[in-house]
Chains A and B, each alone.
Chain A
Amino acid sequence: MIIKNIYSRSCIALSSIVILFISFVQGGIVCLYAQEELTVKETAENIEAGKRIYMKKCQYCHGIDGDGEGPAAPFLDPPPRDLTRARYKIISTEAGELPTNQDIFDVILNGIRDTSMPGWTSLSKKEIWQTVHYIKTLAERFAWYKEIKKVPETVKIGKPLPAAKDSIERGRQIYMKKLECWKCHGEGGRGDGPSASELLDEWEYPIKPTNLTKPWKFRIGNTEKHIFRAIITGTAGTPMPSFTTGNTEEELWDLTNYVKSLGPVKRPQRAIVLKSEFMSRNLPEDIDDPIWNSIEARGIPLFGQILAEPRMYTPSTDAVYVKSIYNNTEIAFLVEWDDNSQSRSGTTKEGDTIYEDSLAIQFPVKIPESPSSPRPFFMMGDSALPVNLWFWKSDSDVLKEVNAWSINKKKDQSEENKDVEGRVIYEQGKYKLLIKRDLTTSDKKNDIQMEINKFIPIAFFVWDGHNGETENMMAISSWYYLFLEKKHTGKNFLFSIMALLFAIIVEIIFMKRIRRSDWYEPTLNKAQG
């Protein structure tokens, strides 16, 4: 059918494109709406409306009175803020000052990264302003400022210094010597300094210094200006001091550049498939072997084990980073994770129990036929389909093989049956575990037999002994895939040549047909005429 009418023709084309653009508009609206001017005044009605929103959305964490004791509070680390003390972490004002209204608005809209405080994009801008006015009534300090007509001043932040090598080096000197940030944040920045384990916040909750190698966790943001602001404002309510006096602006920018240099350029992406690369040589015996530098690490996010009792709501490990290689006989993994306290079973000075640190890699005993065929339950298997775990525990510092049929039914394999080997180092708040095994073993009934070019389910478990993690209380991951990448077999070349030949054949047939068709004639005639 040919549509004659020009309008309906254009209509069809246009409507397809319109449909398309609708999908983008949603994104656009969010941007526009954040930029609108403040119009919602601090009136009794708006405060009342804000209270209704608070009671519906916020009280379950922050508590009915705003004291941070809502029903969800016991399960959260960091705990929900006690809003009655007006201690705000993300401020654009001077250290120790109240935040501006805009600061509070921004934190409600954007949330606080890497905590349970979500960004409330589901509330309208008006609703957020109403909530801002309400939560200010929870702390007396805001009313007092109003009475004495004091308006907190926002700090001006200048231009960052270029992150040149010498600036970073000067920053390192300040970090290590002048301001001694390392005492809390650790030499490598992973929050493992000597004072780290004793820190308490204003409410006497234990608090960990931020891991500076994971800048995406900075509450305030992770650009140079944000980090600069974090240093000069400190973090209210926590032991993180403010460092304004006694330092020149240049020194603070050097320090900023150093802090920035501690983190990776880009946050490692979570990957569903962990590729194991083929090597024709012997696999490295050493964790520091340079071969590992050429392999890309994959990030695997972890979450608290809250499926079975006893549950772990606040695990301290949020990800492991894994590299893998294999050769004709063996496979090796290098697993890295941050832990700001190396622990063995025992008690602290205060008499609290400490457990050992531990990590396990999990595989199904039998690789599933296809990605959609049944496989063991991701949390340590089930009675029909068991899993094979490779365990490392800090107490004995040896590797073990374990089989499990559920989280509560595990069995160690006997010593003679052990095929895994490896070693661990702990350095500056980071564990590195090298683990190796033959691709296949003699114990086919209980051990995973690695196969090339197959999607092999893989999962990870991490226990941080200083955080009360033991037995069922730990950080766990969903199933991911391990894939032993095929060796180079010249297959690529074969396929490419086939594609080349195929394209040529198609062309020949095509031209033959064209020559025979009526297309050819008129043009030829024209050329002759």
Chain B
Amino acid sequence: MRISKFSQAILMVVFAFLVFKFAIRPPIPSSLLYFYMMIVIFAIFIYVISDTQLLQAFISPIKSILVEEKKKRLRLVIFTVLPIFAAIFTYINVSVSVGPPAELRFTHPAPPLQIQFRENLIRIEGLENPLRSDVANFSKYIEEGAVIYFKNCFFCHGDNLDGNGHFAEALNPRPGNFTDPGTIAQLQESYVFWRVSKGGRGLPDEGTPWNSAMPAWENILTEEEIWKVIIYIYDAASVKPRRWEELPE
């Protein structure tokens, strides 16, 4: 017996679900599972509507249930079961445990034009790392930056620079993962300087400064020490800072 196109599609969806749910270890989180299932259903949908004949074949079993006299009983069953399902589903969903509310957070809000660093006013716009041009001493700076990093930062950002320090698990939001292209690799060093100096509390409101555990280092580290540690994190994470020239107009 040939399986109808419609049943094939259903089987495919069920199969994909089983694979995602049970065949993959470690288990994928449910939000991701929904997302993957959406993609699978979408792919099948595109496949079906891409050809008229296929579409006909796909629809015919639905059609026959809806209109054929012979299938009246089945139709009735489906039409009573569906609303009951809807009711049960709603009941369960209304009474499920409260999930955490969405906290909208901009990870990289626009930096200020200038910041007060101890007694000095430092202009952020156009600012370059002053130590980077000192090629002769560059490896010394990396070395010194590493020591600063391992006395101050790795608890949170991790010695792999992947944001997995031994305190990271308890932090929300989690510390930046410097090896990820979405953090320091897409920032100018001046931006990083601002973030390190002013920490989480220096963020504007859209950065939810009340949640960020990133300390403000301006009173603990000197300007030069911050530039050194910045050199180290770029070097150790093997990424390059974004240059000012590359800014989109």
Contacts and interface: CB of A to CB of B under 8 A. Distances in A.
Interface of A: 2-4, 6, 9-10, 12-13, 16-17, 19-20, 24, 27, 56-57, 60-61, 70-72, 75, 114-116, 118, 120, 122, 270, 272-273, 275, 301-304, 306-309, 313, 318, 370-372, 374-379, 382, 385, 455, 477-481, 483, 485, 491-493, 495-504, 507, 511, 514, 519-520, 523-524, 527
A13 B100 contact: no
The number of chain B residues touching the other chain, given as a range, is 35 or more
Contacts of B169: 270, 301
A275 B98 CA distance: 8
A519 B155 contact: no
8 contacts: A12-B47, A17-B43, A20-B36, A61-B159, A272-B100, A275-B97, A303-B170, A479-B210
B87 A500 contact: yes
A479 B211 contact: yes
Nearest to B104: A372
A478 B164 contact: no
A478 B171 contact: yes
B163 to A, nearest CB: 11
Contacts of B49: 2
Given A61-B150, A502-B86, A306 B155 contact: yes
A116 B166 contact: yes
A10 B46 CA distance: 10
A3 B154 CA distance: 54
B3 interface: no
B82 to A, nearest CB: 6
Name, among B44, B66, B220, the residue most crowded by chain A CB atoms within 10 Å (CB to CB).
Answer: B66
Nearest to A315: B167
Contacts of A501: 83
A378 B210 contact: yes
Name, among B42, B84, B98, B104, the residue most crowded by chain A CB atoms within 10 Å (CB to CB).
Answer: B98
B29 interface: no
Contacts of A382: 201, 210
A503 B83 contact: yes
A129 B240 CA distance: 29
Contacts of B147: 60, 71
Interface of B: 24, 26, 36, 39-40, 42-44, 46-47, 49-52, 63-64, 66-69, 79, 82-84, 86-91, 94-95, 97-104, 146-147, 149-151, 154-155, 158-160, 162, 164-167, 169-172, 179, 199, 201, 205, 208-211, 213, 215-216, 220, 236
Given A309-B220, A478-B170, A479-B210, A493 B91 contact: yes
Contact of A496 (B39, B63, B90): B90
Contacts of A12: 43, 46-47, 50
A374 B205 contact: yes
B67 A371 contact: no
A280 B156 CA distance: 44
B210 A377 contact: yes
A477 to B, nearest CB: 7
Contact of A70 (B40, B83, B150, B208): B150
Contacts of A24: 24
Contact of A523 (B68, B83, B94, B201): B68
B50 A2 contact: yes
Contact of A118 (B79, B88, B98, B159): B159
A497 B83 contact: no
B95 A118 contact: no
B146 A60 contact: yes
Contacts of A302: 170
Given A3-B50, A306-B215, A523-B64, 7 more contacts: A13-B43, A16-B39, A27-B24, A27-B26, A307-B215, A478-B170, A479-B172
A304 B216 CA distance: 16
Contacts of B24: 24, 27
A360 B127 CA distance: 43
A503 B100 contact: no
A499 B100 contact: no
A411 B19 CA distance: 57
A16 B50 CA distance: 15
A304 B155 contact: yes
Contacts of B51: 2-4, 6, 9
Contacts of B64: 523
B94 A495 contact: yes
B83 A272 contact: no
A491 B146 CA distance: 58
B211 A378 contact: yes
Name, among B199, B211, B236, the residue most crowded by chain A CB atoms within 10 Å (CB to CB).
Answer: B211
Given A306-B215, A503-B82, A313 B155 contact: yes
Nearest to B168: A303
Contacts of A479: 172, 210-211
B52 to A, nearest CB: 6
Contacts of B210: 374-378, 382, 385, 479
B172 A272 contact: yes
Nearest to A14: B43
A388 B223 CA distance: 36
B47 A500 contact: no
A3 B99 CA distance: 43
Contacts of B104: 372
B213 A75 contact: no
B40 A120 contact: no
Contacts of A504: 83
Contact of B67 (A70, A120, A301, A523): A523
A10 B50 CA distance: 10
B69 to A, nearest CB: 6
Contacts of A304: 155, 167
Nearest to B164: A118
B47 A483 contact: no
